[in-house]
Structures are given as C-alpha cells and as structure tokens.
C-alpha cells in the first residue's frame, strides 16, 4: 500500500457547479449564440439551488465572455469576441513585461509572430490590400520628424500587415502584444538612429510583400525587429540604475 498522502478533495461551491453545467450547455450547442438562457427561477428549480448561486454562476459566465447579463432581461449567449478573449490577460502581461526577462520573452514572441505575418502576407494580400498598406506606409514616412506621430503610424503600419490575414484572432493577438510593448517603442525611439532606420525598414518590408517575395519579407522584418530590440536595450543600459526595472 502506498505511503503517499491521500489527495486533497476540494468541495465545490454551488455556483461553481451551476456555472459548469451552464457552460456545458453552451459549448454543446444546447443553447446557441444569441439564445437566452433559462430564467433565474427556471435555473433555481432545475438545479435545486437558491437565487444567489444562480446569480453568481451567471456573473462568472459573463466574466468569461460566454454570456451577456442585463438588468431586467434574461442572460444571452454572446458571439465570441477575440479581443475579449485576450483582454483578461493584459494586466498580468504588463506585469510580466515589466521585468527584463519578461520583456525579452515578449520581444521574442513579437519576432515570431511578425516574421510569420510578413512571410504569409506575400500569399494573402490582394492588390487592394497592398494599396491600403502602401497608404499606411506613406503616412508613416510623412512623420520622420515627429516621434509621437511616428509611434502612432508605426502601430498602424504593423497592424496593417497583421490585418492582411483577415483573421480576427490574429488581429486580437497582435494588438495585445503591441499594447504590452508600448514601453519598448517609446524607449527605442530615444535612440538617435531608431526613427530613420525604422522608416527605411518599413519601405523594404512593403517592397518585399508587394513583390510577393516571402524570403525577403521575412528577412527584412527580422532585421527591423532585431534593430528595435537593439535600440531598446542600448537605451536601457544608459539609464541610471535607480530608474531601471527590477530583475
């Protein structure tokens, strides 16, 4: 007979059990997108619980983004929103990125994502897509003497490449990564060479995508993001120790 300690069995709260049953109903399709859930009274009778347990379960499902809860109306199953799927991670992600190790991992994640997006954009993009991306490039090039305006148009150009996928989940993931890396952008732009180098790289990235050359698009995007990382860490090394982020 094993001498290992017995497993600890946790007692589930009533609302947890109700929420799990309701979630199973939604995921199985028993209640479809846009359909109302049973009323609170019906749920109380169905599960043999009180109103507090039902309301806690509904609030939990609302927080998960599965249902909408409105006063005076029955809760309804909602269409999944990719941005909401990732918003819950934003606070923890910002905290993680506030350390050098976390920042390095987010930079690596961005590199993986954007290099792949640049390569695939050569296959995905239509002539109309390229025209829109070129317009974003021109707007970015017009800000070469304004760092604040550059940061905004820089976001727009990079997101324009991600948007060529026409995949809302990719768009949401990319927006989330960019939002966490705002500190990187503004820090790296303090480097004397950063703005000019970025605008030149954007032009080369666009030209490669427009030429439908995936190898060149990948190489130019990798070069660009590696430069951004180099400028960021160079500026960070120059900052006084007291203002540097904790390890």
37-54 pLDDT tens trace: 999 999 999 999 999 999
At 135 the pLDDT is 97
- The tens-digit pLDDT sequence of the chain (247 residues) is 456 665 554 556 888 889 999 999 888 888 888 899 999 999 999 999 999 999 999 998 988 888 888 877 889 998 876 666 556 556 667 777 778 888 898 899 889 999 999 999 999 899 999 999 999 999 999 998 898 899 999 999 999 999 998 888 888 877 777 777 888 888 999 999 999 999 999 999 999 999 999 999 999 999 999 999 999 999 999 887 644 444 4
Task: State the Cα–Cα distance between residues 178 and 61, nearest whole angstrom.
Answer: 28
Bridge partner list, 76 = 36, 68
Task: State the Cα–Cα distance between residues 158 and 145, nearest whole angstrom.
Answer: 19
Task: State the Cα–Cα distance between residues 92 and 178, nearest whole angstrom.
Answer: 15
Q: Which two tokens stand for residue 136?
A: 């974003």
161-206 pLDDT tens trace: 999 988 888 888 777 777 778 888 889 999 999 999 999 999 999 9
Q: What are the structural domains, with CATH classification, of the chain? A: 14-79 (1.10.10.10), 86-243 (1.20.120.530)
CA dihedral 83, 85, 86, 89 (to 10 degrees): 140
* pLDDT more than 70, % of the chain: 87
Closest listed residue to residue 219, CA positions, set 108, 119, 134? 119
Q: CA 11, 14, 15 angle in degrees (round to 5)?
A: 120
| C-alpha distances in Å from residue 221, one per residue of 85, 114, 204, 206 | 27, 7, 9, 10
């Amino acid at each position: 007979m094993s001498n290992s300690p017995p497993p600890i069995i946790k007692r589930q709260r009533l609302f947890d059990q109700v929420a799990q049953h309701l979630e199973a109903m939604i995921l199985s399709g028993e209640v479809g997108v846009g359909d109302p859930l049973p009323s609170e009274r019906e749920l109380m009778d169905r599960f043999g619980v009180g109103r507090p347990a039902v309301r806690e379960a509904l609030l939990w499902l609302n927080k998960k983004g599965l249902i909408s809860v409105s006063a005076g109306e029955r809760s309804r199953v909602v269409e999944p929103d990719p941005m909401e799927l990732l918003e819950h991670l934003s606070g923890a992600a910002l905290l993680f990125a506030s350390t050098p190790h976390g920042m390095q991992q987010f930079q690596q994640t961005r590199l993986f994502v954007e290099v792949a997006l640049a390569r695939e954009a050569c296959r995905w993009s239509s002539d109309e897509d390229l025209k829109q991306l070129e317009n974003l490039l021109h707007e970015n090039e017009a800000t070469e003497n304004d760092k604040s305006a550059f940061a905004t148009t820089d976001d727009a150009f990079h997101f324009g490449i991600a948007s060529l996928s026409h995949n809302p989940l990719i768009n949401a993931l990319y927006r989330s990564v960019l939002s966490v890396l705002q500190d990187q952008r503004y820090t790296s732009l303090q480097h004397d060479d950063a703005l000019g180098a970025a605008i030149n790289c954007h032009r080369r990235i666009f030209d490669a995508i427009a030429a439908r050359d995936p190898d060149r698009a990948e190489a130019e995007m990798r070069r660009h993001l590696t430069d951004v990382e180099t400028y960021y860490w160079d500026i960070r090394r120059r900052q006084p120790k007291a203002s540097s982020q904790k390890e």
